[in-house]
Amino acid sequence: MDFTVLRELAAGNNWWAVWPELSLGCLALFLLVLETLLPRSAHGRIPVISIAAQLGLLVALLANFDTSYHETFNGLLFQSPMGELMRAFFLVCSILVSILGRASLRGRSVPRIEFHHIVLVVAAAMMLLVQSRNFVMLFVALETVTVGLFILVSYYRSNPKTLEAGLKYLVMGALSSALLLFGIVLLYGVAGSAGLAGRTSEGMYYVGLAAFLDVNPHNFMAAAGIVLVLSGVAFKIGAFPFQIWVPDVYQGAPTPVTAFLAVASKAAGFIVLLVLVTQVFAPYEWLVGPVLTFMAAATIIFGNLAALKQNNVKRLIGLSGVSHAGFILLAVASAAYVPSAVGAVYFYLIVYLIASFAVFGVMTVLAGPDDTEQELSDYCGLAKKSPFLAGVLACGLGSLAGIPPLAGFMGKLFVFTAAFKAGHYGLLAVAVGGVVVSIYYYFGWIRAAYFNDEAEISPETAARVAGGGMTLRVTMALLAAASIILGFYQGPLGALLAR
Amino acid sequence: MSIFPIDPLLLSVGAPLSVAALIAVGVPKRIVVKLAYAGFAVPALVGVYLWWAFGTAAKEAHGYAFLSDYSTGLDGFGISLKLGLNGISLPLFVLAGVVGLAAGLYALQSTAERMKTYLLLLLVMLAGLMGTFASVDIFFFYFFHELALIPTFIMVGIWGGRDRSHAAMTMTIYLTIGAMLSLLGLVAIYVKSGAGSFDLLALRDTLASHPIGEVTQKHIFGLLLFGFGVLVSLWPFHSWAPLGYGAAPSSAAMLHAGVLKKFGLYGLVQIALPLLPLGAFQWSHKLAALAAVGNVLVIGLVTIAQRDLKQMVGYSSVMHMGYAFLGVAVGSLLGVGGVVMLMVAHGLSVALLFLLSTSIHQRTNTFDMFQMGGLAQKAPVLAALFITATFASVGLPGFANFWGELPIFVALWGFSHCLTVIALTGTVISAVYGLRAAARVFFGPQTEAFARFAASKPTNDIAWSERLPALILIAALLFVGVWPKSFSTGIDHALARTPPAVVASR
């Protein structure tokens, strides 16, 4: 028996290269083990253990920050500084979701440990997703993410709205996966079809496909495949015309899960899109460029106009998230021409994470027994009752609105500069209009919290403002501070992204 | 610079900001007041000291002195915190310090609710203002402006008078549109210049040898003109100003109308005119017509019709901005120099008027001028101060405003006779509404409503704590009025180094 093939495969399996993902997976399993081993009274400690272990992992990850570029697992994955950054990004997301989840699950009769377990698994899958350089790898990682999120979205299963959201997410998620898979198959098939120049059996690898597309820049089947793949990804990021699930699912999902969807899932989608657009589909810029331009403009317009009239804050933040997806798409659309646009996407995602979780933190504290019913009127007079929560909310919303000196402004500035360099003047006009409209509804929220003297905060909400626990409060304070500091001083992050 | 252990420009931004941070952290109320005095006084002292030292200071590139450069991690994008002053920014820097001190003193003697937050926001605003005029990097120029702008919205929203929520929203939306347009214009300069830097000095050097094409210049100047124009209340984008100032608490109105609003004009004079001379030339006639007919004539007549004292002051400030736009449109050394002088003078006088309006309101409980009358008998000092402020605002010789308006009119005569006549009509209009307001408020018989209110609450004259900020502003107005050369020499040098647009292209 000839072992050379196996030996070569073994040499390509650099397990050490995926230690963060492996650790997260092991931690997830360990939580389940703990649940069976520990007595019931000690189960409250398990989320704390999870959060502490993740913090340790984050420190280890940052201490061993790998700035090299090389492929691992025979080209299935690609190690890069940006990949490392996104690993840290998803780890921070899962820590924050765990912290929010701990506060949100308190006093609800649903399983606890499984929530933290699934969050860890999903975060690990997202890390793999953004590093994958192979469509099979991409699809498997994406499905792991999606299946985990199906469970999380319908986690508060006694609430009909949550179940509705779960069902909608399931159907829409399945549809988008199908579109994506169909596109992948088309691309793989066309890349391997006999009679075409540069045909290859390596069509599942980004590199192989890119080489094929380079030789055949005007193939109809390939173009159809590309559009389908883009559509599949557009579902994940909630871009027009695939944004229709966003408000219902964001409203129905438990608040921490909404945050996870809004930040981590969207970020993963954008990084995949960025890699595909700049590295694989570059020869089809004639197609991808107009498609992205249209999507960006329509997404910004739809998100902002739809958010204007929302009274439910979860729907509001969901639809404003759609408009943020539009702004990031603006940078992705510029990335083919302007290298600095790539840095702009990463920076925008980071400031979006910080600002969004600050707002979701406040929402988690103020959420009543029915997590889906959080209205703007619940925030009336918040500033008098709890200056701390109102301050965090103002920092988060201000950053989302892109008001200097908060970090969100820097994000928008980089995106706009990149778009200007790429010559997207029309899109910029749409984006500026979008920013002004967005100020209106963000300001409306802040106005409810600060300027509304007549309406008093309801007694039920007033009873909750002191809740949330110390961990969540410290986290929110840190997020608000980060939103301010990143606006003034970008430090090493700015240097990393400006390359 | 030797008397300061650290960079004075950084100190002028850092002092109010650190006091604000300390207040935010939550120091006891006793210390808050003392700290706030320091936070308001340091920028003014730095301003006066730098004005005194500027004449002899070593001038570096483009007539800038006191240059310093700090990295914030964005060197890759060509952004760094570069501070410095030239002859154009120095007067405005001093203006920001002086008006900031007056507004701060006025706020400290007021009885605003939630005083700590109020002081905190004012200090942040002041820090932003000092930073705006001290920045050489146009990114930070914009950044500091926004830092000062946001507290304005909050202060109008929380401490404003009637209709404050609506006023805050209107202001926010108008000014955000203006700010976004000007940001796009600045980004356009950054991208199209090819300098790869937001540093104004680098941009000037690059554009001096490789100017941007004429059509592009016209488009970018248009963006900046309307972006900055909204911020400076260029007709017909002015309607936020009277509404916002009418509702704003006095110190916020003083700082915004007096200093922050000058940001747009300063941007046009310091950035747009030298970098985009051809674009400015293309727009000059349209701008001049808009400013003369819209701001000066139409708004002047609207001002006469006002009954509300604070709104009248708001409208009058919109009108006076028309003169400044006329100077920008002319673009000659005389005209632009006049604009800088007018910015300083108007900043001082409008801040004074807002301060005194609030003091009047405290004694009459109304802003409606038809409900007042005869206040001079009860408060003679207040009456004297208000009439002084009115004279200054009208542009009587001896006050700084005269030296702002006169050069603009002289320069405008060479540009267009017709517009000069319109502009001069404007001075008559401003005399009419200014003197009518003084007459209505202070002289004549008391109205019944006012007499009843005065009987219920004994009217006293203006206290020393209110007089002090007013006297600081009047002293500055008179100082510049009798010795305009203290600023004009620097302005002259700065403008001569960068020959203004139209002169160069004619």
d(CA B356, CA B426): 23
Nearest to A489 among B72, B154, B190 (CB): B72
- Weakest mean pLDDT among B311-315, B363-367, B399-403: B363-367
- Weakest mean pLDDT among A184-198, A446-460, B215-229, B342-356: A446-460
Q: A216 pLDDT exceeds 80?
A: yes
Best mutation target, A414, A447, A485, to test chain B (most B CBs within 10 A)? A447
Q: Where are the domains of chain B?
A: 8-505
Asked if the Cβ–Cβ distance from A498 to B176 is below 8 Å, we say no
B157 CB within 8 Å of a chain A CB: yes
Mean pLDDT, chain B, integer: 85
- Closest residue by Cα to residue A293 from A432, A423, A412: A423
- pLDDT value, residue B497: 66
Element (H, E) at B85: strand B81-85
In percent, how much of chain B has pLDDT > 90?
Answer: 8
ipTM associated with this complex: 0.78
Mean pLDDT within B477-505: 73
Taking a C-beta distance cutoff of 8 angstroms, is the pair B137, B81 a contact?
yes
Asked if the Cβ–Cβ distance from B172 to A439 is below 8 Å, we say yes
Q: Which residue is associated with the tokens 């329509």? A: A298
Give per-residue pLDDT as tens, A13-59. Answer: 778 888 899 999 999 999 999 999 988 888 888 999 999 999 999 99
Examine residue B236 and say whether the peptide bond preceding it is cis (omega within 30 degrees of 0). Answer: yes
d(CA B97, CA B120): 16
Asked if the Cβ–Cβ distance from A404 to B147 is below 8 Å, we say yes
Best mutation target, A415, A442, A488, A496, to test chain B (most B CBs within 10 A)? A488
Give per-residue pLDDT as tens, B377-387. Answer: 778 888 888 99
- pLDDT value, residue A498: 66
> Nearest CA to CA, how far is A420 from chain B (Å)?
7
- pLDDT value, residue B504: 42
Instruction: Report the 3 state secondary structure along B373-430.
Output: CCHHHHCHHHHHHHHHHHHHHHCCCCCHHHHHHHHHHHHHHHHCHHHHHHHHHHHHHH
Taking a C-beta distance cutoff of 8 angstroms, is the pair A261, A149 a contact?
yes
B163 CB within 8 Å of a chain A CB: no
- Closest residue by Cα to residue A169 from A235, A97, A91, A119: A235
DSSP 3-state assignment of B232? coil
- pLDDT value, residue B503: 44
Q: Considering only CB atoms, which chain A residues are within 8 Å of B150?
A: 398, 403-404
Asked if the Cβ–Cβ distance from A435 to B176 is below 8 Å, we say yes
- pLDDT value, residue A56: 94
Give per-residue pLDDT as tens, B66-115. Answer: 888 888 777 777 788 888 888 888 999 999 999 999 998 888 888 777 78
Instruction: Report the 3 state secondary structure along chain A.
Output: CCCHHHHHHHHHCCHHHHHHHHHHHHHHHHHHHHHHHCCHHHCCHHHHHHHHHHHHHHHHHHHCCCCCCEEEHHHCEEECHHHHHHHHHHHHHHHHHHHHHHHHHCCCCCCCHHHHHHHHHHHHHHHHHHHECEHHHHHHHHHHHHHHHHHHHCCCCCCHHHHHHHHHHHHHHHHHHHHHHHHHHHHHHHHHCCCCCCCCCCCCEHHHHHHHHHHCCCCHHHHHHHHHHHHHHHHHHCCCCCCCCHHHHHHHCCHHHHHHHHHHHHHHHHHHHHHHHHHHCHHHHHHHHHHHHHHHHHHHHHHHHHHHCCCEHHHHHHHHHHHHHHHHHHHHHHCCCCCHHHHHHHHHHHHHHHHHHHHHHHHHHHCCCCCCCCEHHHHCCHHHHCHHHHHHHHHHHHHHHCCCCCHHHHHHHHHHHHHHHHCCHHHHHHHHHHHHHHHHHHHHHHHHHHCCCCCCCCHHHHHHCCCCHHHHHHHHHHHHHHHHHHHHCCHHHHHHHCC
- Closest residue by Cα to residue B383 from B320, B439, B311, B309: B439
Torsion sign over Cα B2, B4, B7, B9: negative
- pLDDT value, residue A98: 93
B177 CB within 8 Å of a chain A CB: yes
> Nearest CA to CA, how far is B170 from chain A (Å)?
10
d(CA A17, CA B33): 58
Q: Which residue is associated with the tokens 């004549």? A: B444
Give per-residue pLDDT as tens, B22-73. Answer: 888 777 878 888 888 888 999 998 988 888 888 787 777 777 888 888 887 7
Nearest to A428 among B76, B147, B184 (CB): B184
B150 CB within 8 Å of a chain A CB: yes
d(CA B348, CA B351): 5
Q: Which pLDDT band, with edges at 50, 70 and 90, does A455 fall under? A: low
- pLDDT value, residue A52: 94
Give per-residue pLDDT as tens, A349-386. Answer: 999 999 999 999 999 888 878 878 888 888 887 877 88
Mean pLDDT within B126-136: 91
Asked if the Cβ–Cβ distance from A436 to B180 is below 8 Å, we say yes
Asked if the Cβ–Cβ distance from A447 to B181 is below 8 Å, we say no
**Rg from Cα positions in chain B:** 22
- pLDDT value, residue A453: 62
- pLDDT value, residue B501: 46
- Other C-beta atoms closer than 10 Å to the C-beta of A290 total 11
Q: Which residue is associated with the tokens 């073994």? A: A10
Mean pLDDT, chain A, integer: 88
Q: Considering only CB atoms, which chain B residues are within 8 Å of A451?
A: 157-158, 164-165, 168
Q: CB-based contacts of B333: which residues, under 8 Å, 6+ apart?
A: B492, B495, B496, B499, B500, B503
Mean pLDDT within A82-111: 90
Asked if the Cβ–Cβ distance from A416 to B183 is below 8 Å, we say yes
Examine residue A405 and say whether the peptide bond preceding it is cis (omega within 30 degrees of 0). Answer: yes
Q: A1 pLDDT exceeds 70?
A: no
pTM here is: 0.86
What single DSSP character describes residue B235? T
Backbone angles phi, psi at B5, to 5 degrees: -70, -30
Q: What angle do CA A202, A204, A209 make, to 5 degrees?
A: 65
- pLDDT value, residue B502: 44
Interface of A with B (CB under 8 A): 340, 398, 403-405, 409, 413-414, 416-417, 420-421, 428, 432, 435-436, 439-440, 443, 447, 450-452, 488-495, 497-499
- pLDDT value, residue A139: 94
- pLDDT value, residue B2: 53
Mean pLDDT within B349-362: 88
Taking a C-beta distance cutoff of 8 angstroms, is the pair B386, B376 a contact?
no
Nearest to B74 among A404, A416, A490 (CB): A490
- pLDDT value, residue A110: 84
Mean pLDDT within A340-344: 87
Taking a C-beta distance cutoff of 8 angstroms, is the pair B427, B320 a contact?
no
Q: CB-based contacts of A214: which residues, under 8 Å, 6+ apart?
A: A198, A282, A283
Asked if the Cβ–Cβ distance from A494 to B187 is below 8 Å, we say no
- Closest residue by Cα to residue B390 from B308, B466, B477: B477
